């Protein structure tokens, strides 16, 4: 089972899908709808310096514990923060699909960061 812990639907397209089309259904294989609560990294605000907020990211994330047979789609930043902590159940969108204006509308694969 794959659960989507990003805040938006994940559209998976076949490899034949080319960039540049606004048709969301063209070569669409499946859509993984998001779960109610997305996984986000915790932040610690450290103050400001020259008008820029100093923030530490990645100490923990609001993520369910590992479960046999369950993989989680998360943002790349969440996966990169947690893979070193032993989370080998995380997937990220890979090989993005873009519409005519260059906006990412989906991906061709899911990848497991290692």
List the chain pLDDT tens, one digit each, 114 residues: 999 999 999 999 999 999 999 999 999 999 999 999 999 988 899 999 999 999 988 767 788 999 999 999 999 999 998 988 899 999 999 999 999 999 999 999 999 999
Q: Which helix (H) or strand (E) holds 79?
A: helix 76-82
- Tell me the two tokens of residue 82: 């947690």
Residue 20 and residue 84: Cα distance in Å, rounded? 36
CA dihedral (72, 73, 79, 83) positive or negative:
positive
Residue 92 and residue 108: Cα distance in Å, rounded? 11
The pTM is what?
0.88
Backbone phi and psi for residue 20, each to the nearest 5 degrees, phi listed first: 105, 0
Burial 44-66 (b: 16+ CB within 10 A, else e): eeeeeeeeeeeeeebeebebeee
């Amino acid at each position: 089972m794959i659960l989507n812990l990003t805040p938006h639907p994940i559209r998976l397209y076949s490899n034949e899908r080319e960039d540049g089309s606004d048709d969301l259904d063209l070569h669409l294989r499946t859509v993984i709808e998001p779960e109610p609560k997305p996984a986000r990294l915790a932040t610690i605000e450290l103050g400001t310096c020259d008008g820029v907020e100093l923030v530490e990211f990645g100490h923990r994330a609001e993520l369910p514990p590992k479960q046999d047979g369950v993989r989680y789609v998360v943002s790349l930043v969440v996966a990169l923060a947690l893979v070193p902590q032993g989370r080998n159940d995380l997937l990220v969108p890979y090989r993005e699909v873009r519409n005519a204006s260059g906006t990412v509308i989906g991906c061709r694969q899911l990848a497991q960061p290692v």
